[in-house]
Amino acid sequence: MSQSFEFWLQNLCDTFSILTDSQQITTLESIIDICGPKQLCFLSTKLEILVKRDYLKCLPLELSFHVLKWLDPVTLCKCCLVSKKWNKVILSCDDVWQNACRQLGMDISEESEEASTSRLAGNLNLSSASWKQIYTSHLQNVKKLMSKDAIEKKHLYGHTARVFALYYRGNYLATGETFWCEYS
What residue ranges do the domains of the chain occupy? 3-51, 55-146
Report the pLDDT value the prediction gives residue 151, as an integer from 0 to 100. Answer: 67
Report the pLDDT value the prediction gives residue 120, as an integer from 0 to 100. Answer: 53
Supply φ then ψ for residue 146, to 5 degrees: -80, -15
Is the model's pLDDT at 157 over the cut of 90? no
pLDDT range class, residue 36, cuts 50, 70, 90: very high
d(CA 56, CA 70): 14
Is the model's pLDDT at 183 over the cut of 80? no
Task: Pinpoint the alpha helices (H) of the chain.
Answer: 3-17, 21-33, 37-51, 55-58, 61-68, 73-79, 84-91, 94-103, 113-121, 131-146
Q: 117 and 125 in contact (C-beta within 8 Å)?
A: no
CATH code of the region 55-146? 1.20.1280.50
Of 57-66, 104-113, 160-169, which range is least confident? Answer: 104-113
pTM of the model: 0.46
